[in-house]
Structure 1
């Protein structure tokens, strides 16, 4: 019998246990994980899941039957995946244990509609808890997309996946810090997440070819939900035949609130109108007669910046982004 999620004395689900792995389209391994981890985990986040013909079903047009295509299914797990579009198979999917049905787990394609990003929402008495499953290819497509869509994201409690991103920040054997890493770190900072170091550090990608070096490209980012240091662990016991090491994460979902704020001027608001009036007035009154030297250009630039700063500070206000917000610009 499944252990069920950890609950408080009042029956409130306190945390969820997430198993995360790039399964490299290995159908047999996913089938094994579904059965072997049904009593230990609440959510399975997979990258590069298998997608193949499972069986044939009765057809009115073919004697051989119609193909039933997909990933493995199991009676204890809710199967959640975006179906293929334009010939592109899904690169991320989730299995949610049926004992979490009370939290109404939902795929949120309304937030980001992209086949390499999976947003899972759980609805607690304090509101939605949003968890992100990510696969980013070698061209860093998903990282770049997330950076562009930061204003549309809800508050997140967890973001994990295969980022295909090498950096000295999380891999002491790596001397690189490419621009895409800075892009990723700025994005996570904007949504108040931090890279979570496993309590048992090690490589997360171990190539089968012994001539190739291992690395740390499977990552988890979490909010400041707990001071405990044992929330995240590498899980070599369930590594299987794959070259990606699973990551096990315990995510608190009810003991703390996530608070994210931004200083904004709401679009099409009276404050925005007054901001533009003050800005135009200040710039119109600015006297710039001589820009013939670097020093004079710098003086003019400082004056323009001061006008923008005064107008902004006069009309901007702090907005707290909650789990129900749709944009940093919400009132």
Structure 2
């Protein structure tokens, strides 16, 4: 396995807040939150800028709202995980009143910047409170990084070992696992020098080794080997290694793949575990990012674009087509008119969360001029820049208000409840055989067969 220099073991490299996040590596965190809502929330907030995936074991749940009930006048309490603008939670719904649907002890969060990989909770494969699989779909797979990159999150109860037993039972139906991490609650000298060897065939360690063999994955040592992962509250108790990482051989052989145990007590946030930070190189697997051509709404370019289109179409209406050939010729001219206008007034833009719609060419020129004359330290240039920005904002919003009130006459478009809303994470759609619909063709066929099952049948 590849390793990193010792000097970097306990250091955390975080990009500047304004720097764009590269997709050359996936940073994955595996952490036992000790059933704490506060710990789960803090980790989500602190790691939003540099972590891509967080695999929680024993996450914090609490009542988030009340829902109608047939037994309680005040309604039943609906429990849920912490929500964050940067993260999507991937977990099944549960009901604490039903033993078969008790609160999940694993919870995986995917950063929204990974939406391009279409993350999917594979509840069609496994439905268990102590294990979950999330699949990332890489458009450009390569050795070690398959098209379907399956991540297995595990919490293995130290008394029942229910997760290991369940995974062994369904191991033949599980897909190829690329990465597995979690709290296994199993001690052995293989990863913990202070523990005893478990050589009995029925021991939890041997059962876990058999599971790894069935899944074609193997245990991976951290770069700071020998570091414990669980620090008990009792100072007289021995610290142990029970949080493990296993991966496929192809992924382990990838240059740059490694993980470390973060031993900074400040980053435990009240938990008795230290988090594991895993680095997965995906260079060459990320989708090609292309700049899109765009015309900003309510801009001068938009006015010029509309004016040119209207002028070209107005001149075409003077000629009446009397045959199919003439109609095809006119439609070709219409297409050419739109294409020329679009090429003339649109420009390539890179999406940025810091961009402002009111920013125009005058703002750009003023900013460049200020940079050439001493930057913000030059009071005269700084005041000129502020004045330019103030005028640009005023012109933009005055035009937008006029458009809403006079031209479109839809002032309610300014209200947030009329805009597009983000959909919650959903489970995979299954076909009649119980297989997940991972392609558009399978999805269309499944929906077609479902809603048109009675088509062309005799009544």
What TM-score, normalized to structure 2? 0.51
1:127-206 pair list within 5 angstroms: 127-138=147-158, 139-177=160-198, 178=200, 179-201=203-225, 202-206=227-231
How has the CA–CA distance of structure 1 residues 229 and 254 changed in structure 2, closer, same or farther, with 3 Å as cutoff? closer
Task: Indicate the residue corresponding to 1:42 in structure 2.
Answer: 52
Aligned partners of 1:59 and 1:151: how far apart in 2? 40
SS of the equivalent of 2:150 reads strand
Deviation at 1:235, TM superposition (A): 1.5
How has the CA–CA distance of structure 1 residues 135 and 3 changed in structure 2, closer, same or farther, with 3 Å as cutoff? farther
Task: Indicate the residue corresponding to 1:104 in structure 2.
Answer: 118
Deviation at 1:6, TM superposition (A): 3.7
- Name the one with the larger strand percent: 1
* Contact 2:157-2:184 within 8 A present in 1 as well: yes
How has the CA–CA distance of structure 1 residues 223 and 2 changed in structure 2, closer, same or farther, with 3 Å as cutoff? farther
Aligned partners of 1:98 and 1:113: how far apart in 2? 24
* Contact 1:2-1:38 within 8 A present in 2 as well: no
Deviation at 1:191, TM superposition (A): 2.4
How has the CA–CA distance of structure 1 residues 229 and 101 changed in structure 2, closer, same or farther, with 3 Å as cutoff? closer
Task: Indicate the residue corresponding to 1:233 in structure 2.
Answer: 260
* Contact 1:5-1:16 within 8 A present in 2 as well: no
Select 1:249's aligned residue among 278, 294, 310.
278
* Contact 1:234-1:248 within 8 A present in 2 as well: yes
Does structure 1 residue 212 correspond to structure 2 residue 237? yes
Cα RMSD over matched residues? 2.6
SS of the equivalent of 1:84 reads coil
> Which deviates more, 23-32 or 189-198?
189-198
Aligned partners of 2:272 and 2:29: how far apart in 1? 16
* Contact 2:229-2:275 within 8 A present in 1 as well: yes
Aligned partners of 1:190 and 1:58: how far apart in 2? 45
- Structure of larger gyration radius: 2
The answer for unaligned runs of 5 or more in structure 2 is 1-16, 142-146, 286-437, 439-459
Task: Indicate the residue corresponding to 1:292 in structure 2.
Answer: none
* Contact 1:23-1:47 within 8 A present in 2 as well: yes
How has the CA–CA distance of structure 1 residues 196 and 71 changed in structure 2, closer, same or farther, with 3 Å as cutoff? same
What TM-score, normalized to structure 1? 0.69
